Structure 1
Amino acid sequence: MNRQSFLHGALILMISGLITRIMGFVYRVFLTRIIGAEGMGLFQIVFPILGLVLTLVTAGLPLAISKLVAEAVAQNDKARVKRIMAVSVGVVSVMTIILTIAMYTCRGFVQHHWLSDPRAFPTYLVMIPVVSIIAVSSLYRGYFQGLQDMSPTAWGQILEQTVRIISIWILAAYFVQFSLAYAAAAAMMGMVLGELCGLLFLIVAQRRRGRLDDVLPEGATRSQESVRQTLHAMGEIALPVTFSKLIWSLLFAAEPILVMRALQAAGFATATATTLYGQYSGMAIPLLVFPTVFTGSLATNLVPSVSEAMAASERYRVRIRLSQSFTATAMVAFPTAVVLTMFSGPLTHYIYKEDSIGPILAVMAPFMFLLCLQAPLTGILQGLNKAGIAMVNSIIGGVLKLVLIYVLAAKPTIGILGVSMATVASFTVSCILNLWFVVRYVGFTIRLQALTRVALASCGMFLYMQVITWRQNPLSFGSMMLAIVGGFILYFGLLCALRVLTTRNIRRVPRIGPLLARLVSWMPFAI
């Protein structure tokens, strides 16, 4: 097992996340073309229930595994790693059995009292088996992340998405001829098959490259830490995360119900409200969160990295990681916000063949930086053993979102746009709170110079795209792609000219760094 550096591990997760996110878009585009926005609404309605159950099943253990395994490996404590995994497997196994039985037993209650559209019930039934698969997979992912070996997680995600896309072509396309309800259920079956293949891959990877005897051949077979101390350490991390996810899952589960009720109060019929919610959650949100594949990868890698640094009493490394994450977030979020804000209408038209999604996306896109920054800040707080603070901040944002949905979406003049406004307010408040606490505990100073340079490069990109698309209405697909691709090329050149990207920092990127450094050296004013 090759232990990877922070940058190497983050890069692997970024690349795999980018691939799987693109594959996920392909998945949703095909699914939308097959079952439409109304079918997507049925598919999305059951996801809050899945999130709630998974929160109870995993109980925050994947994060605890990642953090504690990283600490144990740094201390060469093989016995502690074994104890961590044994306790985690036991807890997850018991919770999985209990909640899987409960989901099936309470199916009648869910159908009549929880699902805002009864046609989503077949999708709910098909969803039940995926709980146990995802729960076991999360333990393997936490283990590999604790070892700071991100390759198995990356390849597993790619395999999972591949199986899901293939299953749509076969299952959803077949069952749509019977009804939308069965087509949405078939799409959920594709998710089950994908998760199962991903789990099998992780099991094989653990046997081949993650055996503990190979990871810590000289590790201590007797830990100085007692079982009680290990349980306390796991609970200290897992419980705040569990409560945070539980409350957030409850809020998320209440979201489709509240959105549907609010839209109905605004005068929309049930089928129309389902379609609008499908446009928001199944089409606009995936486009909005696309850039978070980069910052989410940073957050995943930050937890074990920060934990290891704190275990070694190297607080300065935490500040370095935060500085790297902050600049990287700006480099991704600023240009993406420009593109999604300018081309929200044309993008959604050419991707989904739906013209009504653009305004929903345009409300949220300008606040991309705060959305992307939220994950790294949460990861650092969790690595600092401040998961409880991240929990409270997340809850505050979630409650605010529901309140604003109730207030705004029920107004006929606002409708589904009120849900977008509530989403922006939610992640903005949570991000600002997280940033305040991180600065308080780490002593980080925001590098305004770097942010200003990235902002200038984004402004240059914006002006270029304005010129290319000047007075083109409607905007053709070719002109849009010319503006976007050319804009990103110009953005890259400006980052080099403004010395945000230099040959020195690019060369540190594992494997492809030297090649990229040569490319950067050809840019004007680059160093």
Structure 2
Amino acid sequence: MKRQTFVHGALVLMAASLVTRIMGFVYRIFLTRLIGASGMGLFQLVFPLLNLVLTFVTAGLPIAISKLVAEAVAAGDRVRILRIIRVSSWVIGVLAVIFTAIMWFARHFILHHWLSDPRAYPSYLAMIPIVSIIAIATIYRGYFQGIQDMTPTAVASIIEQTVRILTIWGLAAYFIRFSLPFAAAAAMMGMVFGELSGLLYLIFQQKKRARINQILPNAPARSSETVRQTLRSLAAIAAPVTLSRLISSAIFALEPILVTRALLKAGMTTHAATSAYGEYSGMAIPLLLFPTVFTWSLATNLVPNVSEAIAGSNLRRVRVRLSQSFLATAIVGFPSSVMLALFATPLCASIYHQAEVGKILAVMAPAGFFLYLQAPLTGILQGLDHAGIAMRNSIIGGILRLGMIYFLARQPHLNIMGVAYAVTISIVVTTILHMISVGRRIGFPVRLESLLKTIFASLIIYGFLEIITKRTTTAVGGKLWLAIFAGFLLYFLLLCGMRVVTTDNVKRLPKIGQLLATIVSWVPFSV
């Protein structure tokens, strides 16, 4: 089997992530218009608990599998690969059974002592089967990432989203006639069917294209590593990642409770607080996170790539990956922050029919670049065997977020806006800590000239869009999307004209490189 290059793998994941994120917005738009902010609040209230349980179940093993498989492939040790998969499957399988049982038997405790709105209980019950499905799927995802074949993972995500949309379209539309809580639970069932379809596809692809004898056909049949050593290697990587995600998930699980209770102290009713949380977490946050389709793909590909480079004592390659990732994040992050900040209200009005969500998004949008940079920096730290450092930084940022939420959201003149300010500050602090940590270990090589040109181009489109919005009426509908398209087109032309994007560097992109190089060559000075 021919392995994909770093650029090829990242591009495959980016394309799939972009498709699934757009599909996700279609699904979210439909769901929001069907069940409203209150229904989205019920749907979102149980998600932090799901993340917390999945942290226990997967135990940081997907990253460990990815990293160790990449090292074993580099060493040509196919027996070690089999042992890694076998040991991790046993660990994840046992944990999945235990925590699925706990979720079922603790359902009444969750209803009375955890959920701030009892109407979210049907969604919680519908969520329980997801745990085992996602747990098994993470083994296959980690394996494919380790052998640096990102296509099955990418296609599986598209299948998941397609099935989820179709299922929700039928179930939620049907159950809304009975009650809002049942409609929210039906949306959760759509997630169950989506994850199951993705898992079945991954199993099929592993059997078809990624058997061990296909990856390493001529590798020796013996390995010097014992099962205990494999388990110890998995634990060494998974433990700090697990602890980091456990604390992060606990913070995330506490967030809706803290937010809703702080809003109650600010004078809001329970239903109003649930709706406000739905606007923040179910509408504003997905828009803010949309550009992470690019940086998440980089981070996913960075862990095995950096691990393989370190195994070969190639530190220069790691620095090159950092420089590439930073510039790619800047190219995507700066204009995205500009667009989201300028068009926050019309975007929310156009997509969700909820213009009031725009004020929440507008507060967080300027910190977008810092948010988008977190994933690649975390991926590099994990690839360097410094997952514990990434954990420490995330914990500091998470605790800071909770503390500021509690202090700011309870202020009557701020309420939900206090949450937006708290999240923004937390994002900036966490990313700066990641940057310092990476810089201390490998330096922080940045193509300064290209970065400054990217910032300059972003400022130009900011001024351009400011002029457009002031000279015309409020951008809505077709005018809004035309303005956004014009802004990104101008940005692309500026990057080409200033030689940040050139025919030489786009030619290296697989399959579409030659076509893009032809388009770029039409721009003056870009050759």
1:335/1:458 contact within 8 Å kept: yes
> Is residue 468–residue 479 contact of structure 1 (8 Å, CA) maintained in 2?
no
- Note the C-alpha offset of 1:51: 0.3
What is the rounded CA distance, in whole Å, between the counterparts of 1:158 and 1:344 in structure 2? 27
In 1: Cα distance, 2:301 partner to 2:173 partner: 38
| Cα distance per residue 1:398-449 (max 9 Å; x no partner) | 0000000000000000010111111111121111111111111112233322
CA distance in 2, matches of 1:224, 1:315: 26
- One-letter code aligned to 2:404: L
The one-letter code sitting in structure 2 at the alignment partner of 1:16 is: A
Taking the aligned partners of 2:445 and 2:62, their CA distance within structure 1 comes to 31
Q: Could you say which residue in structure 1 is the equivalent of 2:419? A: 419
Amino acid at match of 1:315: L
Q: Which amino acid aligns with 1:265?
A: K
Aligned equivalents of 1:469, 1:364: Cα separation in 2: 20
Alpha-carbon distance, 1:168 to partner: 1.6
Establish whether residue 132 from structure 1 lines up as the match of residue 121 from structure 2: no
- 1:115 match: secondary structure: coil
1:357 alignment partner, SS class: helix
Q: Is the 8 A contact 2:295 2:376 kept in 1?
A: yes
- C-alpha distance in 1, partners of 2:480/2:468? 8
1:326-381 C-alpha deviation (Å, 9 max, x unpaired)? 00000000110110000000000010001210000000001111000000000000
- 1:167 is displaced (CA, Å) by 1.0
Partner Cα separation in structure 2 for residue 267 and residue 478 of structure 1: 39
1:244 paired residue number = 244
Runs of 5+ consecutive residues of structure 1 not aligned to the other structure:
none
Determine the structure 2 residue equivalent to 1:329: 329
Please list, as runs of the form range in 1=range in 2, the aligned pairs for 1:207-356 lying within 5 A after superposition: 207-356=207-356
The separation in 1 between residues aligned to 2:461 and 2:444, in whole angstroms, is 29
User: Residues 168-179 of structure 1: matches in 2 within 5 Å?
Assistant: 168-179=168-179
Match of 1:494 in 2: 494
The amino acid of 2:305's aligned partner reads: S
Query: Counterpart of 2:109?
Result: 109
Q: 220-229 or 309-318, which moves further after superposition?
A: 220-229
CA shift at 1:14, angstroms?
A: 0.3
What residue identity is the alignment partner of 2:422?
A
1:302 corresponds to which letter in structure 2? L
Letter paired with 1:97: V
- Contact kept, 8 Å, 2:38 with 2:275, in 1: the verdict is yes
Q: What one-letter code is carried by the residue in structure 1 that aligns with 2:76?
A: N
Determine the C-alpha separation between the residues in 2 that align with 1:120 and 1:444: 45
Instruction: Tell me which amino acid in the other structure corresponds to 1:39.
Output: G
Letter in 2 for 1:278: G
Extract unaligned runs of 5+ from structure 2: none
Which amino acid is the alignment partner of residue 342 of structure 1?
L
Deviation, structure 1 residue 470? 2.1
Residue 378 (structure 2) aligns with: 378
Instruction: Give the match's secondary structure for 2:168.
Output: helix
Indicate if the aligned counterparts of 1:469 and 1:479 stay in contact, CA closer than 8 A. no
1:293 alignment partner AA: V
Structure 1 vs Structure 2 CA RMSD: 0.8
User: How far is 1:221 from its partner?
Assistant: 1.5
2:270 partner letter: T
Question: What CA distance in whole angstroms lies between the structure 2 residues aligned with 1:475 and 1:339?
Answer: 12
Of stretches 482-491 and 8-17 in structure 1, the one that deviates more from structure 2 is: 482-491
Asked if structure 2 preserves the Cα contact closer than 8 Å seen for 1:469 and 1:480, the reply is: no
Alpha-carbon separation, structure 2, partners of 1:432 and 1:236: 26
Q: Distance in 2 between matches of 1:509 and 1:149?
A: 16
Question: Aligned runs of 1:392-411 on 2, under 5 Å?
Answer: 392-411=392-411
The answer for the alignment partner of 2:85 in structure 1 is 85
Q: CA deviation at 1:158?
A: 0.2
Query: Which letter maps to 1:262?
Result: A
Give the AA of the match of 1:186: A
Asked if 1 retains the 8 angstrom alpha-carbon contact of 2:327 and 2:446, the reply is no
The corresponding residue for 2:195 is 195
Instruction: Render the CA deviation track for 1:56-104: whole Å, top value 9, x for unaligned.
Output: 0000000000000000000000110011001000001100111101100
SS at match of 2:355: coil
Structure 2 residue matching 1:313: 3-state secondary structure: coil
Whole-angstrom CA distance in 1 between matches of 2:82 and 2:476? 58
Report the counterpart of residue 510 of structure 1 in structure 2: 510
Report matched runs for 1:19-30 at 5 Å: 19-30=19-30
Residue identity in the other structure for 1:273? A
8 Å contact kept, 1:397–1:426: yes
1:31-110 to structure 2, matched below 5 A, reads 31-110=31-110
Distance in structure 2 (CA, Å) of the matches to 1:220 and 1:106: 49
User: How high is the TM-score relative to the length of structure 1?
Assistant: 0.99
CA distance in 2, matches of 1:37, 1:520: 43
Q: Distance in 1 between matches of 2:2 and 2:412?
A: 57
Rounded Cα–Cα distance in structure 2 between residues aligned with 1:475 and 1:21: 23
Alpha-carbon distance in structure 1 between the residues aligned to 2:134 and 2:2? 26
* One-letter amino acid of the counterpart of residue 399, structure 2: V
Q: 2:322, 2:445 within 8 Å by CA — same for their partners in 1?
A: no
Paired residue total: 527
2:387 alignment partner in structure 1:
387
Query: Aligned partners of 1:169, 1:322: CA distance in 2, in Å?
Result: 41
Q: Deviation digits for residues 441-473 of structure 1, max 9, x if unmatched?
A: 112233322111001111221222222222434
Tell me the residue number matched to 2:365.
365
Deviates more, 1:29-38 or 1:222-231: 222-231
Secondary structure of the structure 2 residue equivalent to 1:470: helix
Counterpart CA distance in 2 for 1:115 and 1:473 is 43
Query: d(CA) in 1 for partners of 2:481 and 2:93?
Result: 49
Aligned-residue sequence identity (percent) comes to 60
